[in-house]
Amino acid sequence: IPLLLAYKYPQEVALIYPPLILVIALIASGYVTYQMKKTGITVIEPDMLNEKESKQLHYPGLKAGLFFGLWMFFITPLLSILI
């Protein structure tokens, strides 16, 4: 749709389309998060885990965020060298 409208209304498409996509993505992710919490699909029961798994459970979001951030920090210069 934006490609068809871009020829006739380029400024309107450039100003309206990106925020519209952002709002749609935020609504969709909010709905998915709500449904996941409602159904209990993300609940981890600590009594079912062994000792090693329960130690790994501390701050999983922080660990994933640090890993992703460091990965992007180091891989971006390498990609710019290769490209």
pLDDT of residue 51: 72
Can you tell me the distance from the alpha carbon of 78 to that of 69, in angstroms, rounded to the nearest whole number?
A: 15
Residue 43 backbone dihedrals phi, psi, to 5 degrees = -75, 130
Q: How confident is the model at residue 22 (pLDDT cuts 50, 70, 90)?
A: very high
Tokens of 38: 């409602």
Q: Does 46 have pLDDT greater than 90? A: no
Q: Which residue has the higher pLDDT, 15 or 61?
A: 15
Q: Does 7 have pLDDT greater than 90? A: no
Eight-state DSSP code of residue 44: -
Can you tell me the distance from the alpha carbon of 7 to that of 3, in angstroms, rounded to the nearest whole number?
A: 7
Nearest residue to 42 (alpha-carbon basis) of 63, 61, 28: 61
Residue 6: CB atoms within 10 Å? 14
> 10-14, 58-62, 70-74, 78-82 — which is least confidently predicted?
58-62
Q: Does 31 have pLDDT greater than 90? A: yes
